Amino acid sequence: MTQSIVVQVGQCGNQVGCRFWDLALREHASVNKKGIYDEALNSFFRNVDTRGGVDGADVSSGKICSLKARAVLIDMEEGVVNELLQGPLQEVFDTKQLITDVSGSGNNWAVGHNVYGSQYRDQILEKLRKTAEHCDCLQCFFVIHSMGGGTGSGLGTFVLKVLEDDFPEVHRFVTSVYPSAEDDVITSPYNSVLAMKELTEHADCVLPIENQALVDIVNKINQMASSGKLGASMKLSSTVTSGHGGIKTQEKPFDAMNNIVANLLLNLTSSARFEGSLNMDLNEITMNLVPFPRLHYLVSSLTPLYTLADVNVPPRRLQPSLSFISWNQEGWKTALCSVPPVGHSHSLLAVANNTCVKPTFIELKDRFVKLYRKKAHLHHYLQIDGMEQSCFTEAFNSLTSLIEEYDKLDATKGSLADAPRLSIAV
Binding site for another protein (CB under 8 A): 1-2, 39, 136-137, 139, 275, 277-279, 281, 283-284, 286-289, 292, 314-315, 320, 326-334, 336, 412, 418-419, 421-422
Q: How far is the CB of 166 from another protein (least distance, A)?
A: 19
| 326 or 400: CB nearest another protein | 326
Judged by CB, which is closer to another protein: 309, or 422? 422
- Minimum separation from the CB atom of position 204 to another protein (A): 12
Exposure pattern of 178-196 as b/e (b: 16+ CB <10 Å)? bbbeebebebbbbbbbbbb
**Beta carbon nearer to another protein, 95 or 328:** 328
DSSP character at residue 128: H
Instruction: Find the shortest distance in angstroms from Cβ 284 to another protein.
Output: 5
Alpha-carbon distance of 130 to 138, in angstroms, equals 12
Residue 420 phi, psi dihedral angles, 5° rounding: -65, 140
User: Residue 238 in 3-state DSSP?
Assistant: helix
Residue closest to 219 by CA, chosen among 239, 233, 238, 243 = 239
Residue whose CB is less far from another protein, 3 or 192 = 3
| Least distance between another protein and beta carbon 137 (Å) | 4
Decide: 202 and 157 in contact? Cβ < 8 Å: yes
Give CA–CA dist 78/323, Å, rounded: 47
CB of 317 to another protein, least distance (A): 9
> Half-sphere exposure of residue 282, counting CA atoms within 13 Å on the CB side?
28
Side chain identity at residue 330, one-letter code = E
Return the number of the residue (55 or 169) whose C-beta is nearest another protein: 169
- Cα(120)–Cα(417) distance, rounded to whole angstroms? 54
**Choice between 15 and 43, CB closer to another protein:** 43
How long, in residues, is the chain? 426
- The nearest distance, CB 46 to another protein, in angstroms, is 16
Q: Which of 176, 213, 171 is nearest to 192 (CA)?
A: 176
- φ/ψ region of 132 (left if φ > 0, alpha if ψ in -120 to 50, else beta) reads alpha
Q: Could you tell me the smallest distance in angstroms from the CB atom of residue 318 to another protein? A: 8
CB closer to another protein out of 118 and 334? 334
